Structure 1
Amino acid sequence: MVSRRGLLAGAAGSAILGAGLGAYGLVVEPRLRLRVQAYALSPAGWPGGVRLRIAALADIHAGLPYMPLARVRQIVEATNALAPDLVVLLGDYASSDRFPFTRIPWDETVPLFRGLDAPLGVYGILGNHEFWDDPSAQRRRGDTLAHDAFRRSRVPLLENDAVRLQARGGPVWLLGLGDQLAFRLGRARYIGRDDLPGTLAKVTDDAPAILLAHEPDIFPKVPGRIALTLAGHTHGGQVRLFGHSPVVPSHYGNRYAYGHVVEDGRHLIVSGGLGTVAAGLVPVRFGVPPEIVVVDIWGE
């Protein structure tokens, strides 16, 4: 029989363990850890002489206490140290969480991206928070304050647009999709700014193509013409244990929650992101440290 002292000791141990895990999920993982998540792939049809290193930053959610501007600067410096050919920004640059959070305006966050250094440039897309956190844009169903911040900072946005880049060994197309959840109509109902057919139509030759999409749910519609789709939005579920995320903001659940997904020869990489959101809960990260994604692509 377990003694009263043993029961109390067990309860105290459980409380200490719970407090330790809570501190880790609230403070250590989201605020102190930063990892580089590397992928290497050779998609079918990628020209043999073309090599490309991409660094991808997703879901920064700048704001206090979790993502101060000093932390964004640290991320910029760590990204530059990877010597990427191209840097892409996958959306959600600010946070409006009600959990003790002080929002940092886009005009203070976006200019820091000018410090990113890559020979092929830095390109961004917008995420749902750029639209959801701008009441005027929601009413007008138009451009956001984030659009203005990118224009003033001279960091190019790709919104249903494409640009042809000269990578090592040959040209590569970079496509950026408009956000799929831009305007809220009610509970789980949205009007997107995405135009996948119109974006694909801007590719005018057979050079390999890469698509940036904030939400990964577009992936089933992406044709084989696209060598790689890069996405964010899910934060890897923010809590991930044994390869499973209990809650994922995707219609497909864990199918596109995190990591490298290959379907019908098509490649998708979903970043675990850098910041946190509470979404009505405590903004923890557990098993999904903030990450810079780096992708090396070459042909065979």
Structure 2
Amino acid sequence: MITRRGFFKLVGGGIAGVMSLGGYAFAYEPLARLGIARYRLTPPGWTPGLKLRVVALADIHACEPWMSANRITAICHRANELEGDVTVLLGDYASGMNMVTQYVHSSQWSKALATLQAPLGVHAIMGNHDWWEDRTAQKNGGMTFGHRALADVGIPVYGNRAVRLEKDGRGFWFAGLEDQLALLPGRKWGRTRMLGLDDLDGTMAQVTDDAPVILLAHEPDIFPRVPERVSLTLSGHTHGGQIRFLGRSPIVPSRYGNRYAYGHIVEEGRNIIVSGGLGCSIAPVRFGVPPEIVVIDLG
């Protein structure tokens, strides 16, 4: 039989354990950790002899103290050390969170991202929070402040656009979608439901030869519609659920739940890699899915 003293020791130990876990999830993992997630694959239809290293950064969510301009610069320095042939940015540069001490202006986070370097360049798409936090774009359409900030530092943004690149004389395509959740519903916007601005068919129609295609799509939910013509889809958005136990997350911002929450998924011979991202949204918490840079070696 447990004694009164033993009971209080047990309760105290439990509370201390919960507080320690909370401190880790709130302060250490989102602020201090940075992992490298590595994948190696040769997708169906990939050009023989084409060796390509892609470095991907997703879901930066710039804000103080969680993702300062200085921290973004340090992450970019680490990304450069990975010696990718090309670097991609998968959207959500805007904060997406109210629990901040200070917002990081788009001119600051874009200046930090401008330190990224790769022989075949840096290529970007937008995410839902980049649209949601721009009231002017919500009301009138057009470019968001994120589009303009990246353009100002020379980083091209793909909004339903495909571009052909080459390495060692062998071509491949980047096809980048505009965001699938871009426009919020609401009376003030004159919309009764959320609208996406993505155009998968129109983007793929710009591909004019049989070189492999890498699709950049912020949300992975489009993957069931992605044709076999696409060698690899790269996405972010989910943050791996931000809290992850034994390979699953209790909450994933996807209509498919854990199906596309994180990592390399193969369905019917088609490949998607979903980054766990770098920042946080809604709440500054991560547990079991630390911030990460993704490195993909193709071929």
Given the two structures, how large is their TM-score scaled by the length of structure 1?
0.96
SS at match of 1:191: coil
- 1:233 corresponds in structure 2 to 237
Count of residue pairs the alignment pairs up: 295
Q: CA deviation at 1:189?
A: 3.0
Query: C-alpha distance in 2, partners of 1:96/1:244?
Result: 23
- 1:104 corresponds in structure 2 to 104
SS at match of 1:45: coil
- 1:58 corresponds in structure 2 to 58
SS at match of 2:194: strand
Name which of structure 1's ranges 184-193 and 206-215 shifts more when overlaid on structure 2. 184-193
Q: Is the 8 A contact 2:124 2:158 kept in 1?
A: yes
Q: Is the 8 A contact 1:96 1:103 kept in 2?
A: no
Q: CA deviation at 1:96?
A: 4.0
Query: C-alpha distance in 2, partners of 1:13/1:71?
Result: 35
Query: C-alpha distance in 2, partners of 1:84/1:132?
Result: 31
Query: C-alpha distance in 2, partners of 1:168/1:287?
Result: 39
Candidates 186, 193, 199, aligned match of 1:195: 199
Q: Is the 8 A contact 1:62 1:68 kept in 2?
A: yes
Q: CA deviation at 1:111?
A: 2.0
Q: Which amino acid counterpart does residue 74 of structure 2 have in structure 1? A: Q
SS at match of 1:115: coil
Are 2:218 and 1:214 aligned?
Answer: yes
- 2:258 corresponds in structure 1 to 254
- 1:297 corresponds in structure 2 to 298
Are 2:273 and 1:269 aligned?
Answer: yes
Q: Is the 8 A contact 1:52 1:168 kept in 2?
A: no
Q: Which amino acid counterpart does residue 211 of structure 2 have in structure 1? A: A
SS at match of 1:296: strand
**Deviations 1:84-132, CA, capped at 9 Å, x for gaps:** 0000000001204222342111111112222111101000000011110
Q: CA deviation at 1:142?
A: 2.5
Q: CA deviation at 1:188?
A: 9.4
Query: C-alpha distance in 2, partners of 1:68/1:149?
Result: 16
Given the two structures, how large is their TM-score scaled by the length of structure 2?
0.96
Q: Is the 8 A contact 1:160 1:178 kept in 2?
A: yes
Taking only the aligned residue pairs, the percentage that are identical comes to 52
Q: Is the 8 A contact 2:65 2:101 kept in 1?
A: yes
Q: Which amino acid counterpart does residue 93 of structure 2 have in structure 1? A: Y
**Deviations 1:129-174, CA, capped at 9 Å, x for gaps:** 1110011111113321111112211111111001111124511111
Quote the RMSD (CA, aligned, Å).
Answer: 1.3
Query: C-alpha distance in 1, partners of 2:9/2:29?
Result: 28
SS at match of 1:245: coil
Q: CA deviation at 1:233?
A: 0.3
Query: C-alpha distance in 2, partners of 1:293/1:168?
Result: 23
Q: CA deviation at 1:204?
A: 0.3
Query: C-alpha distance in 1, partners of 2:247/2:129?
Result: 26
Instruction: Report the CA distance shift for 1:96/1:224 in structure 2 as closer, same or farther (over 3 A).
Output: closer
> Is there any run of 5+ residues in structure 1 with no aligned partner, and where?
none
Q: For 1:1-300, what aligned pairs fall within 5 Å after superposition?
A: 1-168=1-168, 170-186=170-186, 189-278=193-282, 282-298=283-299
> Is there any run of 5+ residues in structure 2 with no aligned partner, and where?
none
Q: Is the 8 A contact 2:70 2:112 kept in 1?
A: no
Q: Is the 8 A contact 2:239 2:280 kept in 1?
A: yes
**Deviations 1:202-244, CA, capped at 9 Å, x for gaps:** 1000001100000000001100000000000000000000011
Q: Which amino acid counterpart does residue 158 of structure 2 have in structure 1? A: L
SS at match of 2:162: strand
SS at match of 1:162: strand
Name which of structure 1's ranges 181-190 and 227-236 shifts more when overlaid on structure 2. 181-190
Q: Is the 8 A contact 1:51 1:169 kept in 2?
A: no
SS at match of 1:6: helix
